């Protein structure tokens, strides 16, 4: 069965995939077995749909309906192809600005970031296929509808997007406290992709190592970090400040 941006029940999710619905993510009860589950699992792999195995309590929080061990999020948007988006942006008359989100998991942070990105003229937001926040009703609401106005791409790994940006002549700047460089000393007037990390562990070491530059925000208080959506906003508006100057 279907409820807004959510489908629950194994057979309903299977039918949704087979009918061509854009499934953002599937949550599966740990230990689930049976022929229908095997059929679902095969479809998920064939269609490269992200999934997570979770306790039944998580599914019960997601829906009060009889979920039969499976709940899927229907994406309210169609995702863009990264190569096509980058090519189109480079051929336009704008200086490219992309945002790479490395396994950001909170849907409200995701929505807030998308809203700021749209306001700052970001050309596209790139997320990882697995381990990233879904585009849910909460994302749509928090973004104030910006999810419908900015291209969003999915990649197997954020590092793939990093290499793609670099091969396209776009510098990759990682937001991290593990550097002495502050964002105000980085030249953001050239084609740029900014990488923001997850709420708990930040940017993955392999992604951090691949970035062209690392930059941090100065923090004068006793708390060691900012909310990721707030930090992202500062990075994007510093980019705008430099480009408008």
Residue-by-residue DSSP string for 75-95:
PSSPPBPHHHHHHHHHHSSS-
Query: Mean pLDDT score of the chain, rounded to an integer?
Result: 92
CA distances from 213 to 121, 210, 234 (A): 22, 9, 17
Burial of 240 (0-12, 13-18, 19+ CB in 10 A): middle
Give residue 153's pLDDT: 96
Task: Express each pLDDT in 200-232 by its tens digit.
Answer: 889 999 999 999 999 999 988 888 778 999 999
**Res 82 pLDDT > 80:** yes
Taking residues 115-130, what's their average pLDDT? 95
* DSSP H helical ranges for the chain: 10-18, 35-46, 56-62, 82-91, 107-119, 137-142, 158-167, 205-210, 228-244
| Cα gap 146→229, rounded to integer Å | 15
| Cα gap 77→136, rounded to integer Å | 10
| Cα gap 131→126, rounded to integer Å | 13
Task: Express each pLDDT in 15-68 by its tens digit.
Answer: 999 988 888 889 999 989 889 999 999 999 998 888 889 999 999 988 888 898
| Cα gap 85→124, rounded to integer Å | 8
Mean pLDDT comparison of 54-68, 125-139, 144-158, highest-scoring range: 144-158
Taking Cα atoms as reference points, which of 87, 67, 95 lies closest to residue 167? 87
């Amino acid at each position: 069965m279907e409820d807004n941006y959510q489908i629950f029940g194994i057979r309903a999710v299977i039918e949704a995939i087979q009918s061509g619905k854009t499934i953002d993510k599937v949550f599966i009860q740990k230990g689930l077995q049976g022929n229908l589950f095997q059929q679902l699992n095969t479809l998920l792999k064939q269609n490269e749909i992200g999934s997570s195995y979770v306790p039944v309590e998580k599914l019960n929080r997601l829906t009060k309906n009889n979920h039969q061990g499976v709940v899927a999020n229907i994406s309210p948007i169609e995702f863009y192809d990264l190569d096509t988006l980058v090519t189109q942006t480079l051929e336009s008359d704008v200086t490219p600005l992309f945002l790479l989100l490395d396994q950001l998991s909170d849907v409200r942070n995701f929505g807030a970031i998308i809203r700021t990105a749209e306001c700052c003229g970001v050309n596209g937001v790139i997320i990882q296929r697995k381990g990233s926040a879904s585009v849910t009703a909460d994302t749509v609401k928090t973004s104030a509808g910006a999810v419908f106005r900015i291209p969003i791409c999915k990649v197997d790994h954020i590092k793939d997007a990093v290499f793609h940006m670099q091969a396209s002549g776009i510098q990759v700047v990682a937001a991290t406290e593990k550097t002495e460089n502050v964002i105000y000393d980085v030249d953001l007037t050239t084609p740029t992709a900014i990488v923001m990390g997850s709420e708990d562990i930040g940017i993955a070491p392999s992604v951090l190592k691949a970035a062209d530059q690392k930059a941090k925000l100065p923090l004068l208080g006793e708390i060691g970090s900012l909310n990721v959506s707030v930090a992202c906003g500062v990075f994007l508006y510093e980019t705008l400040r430099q480009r408008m100057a």
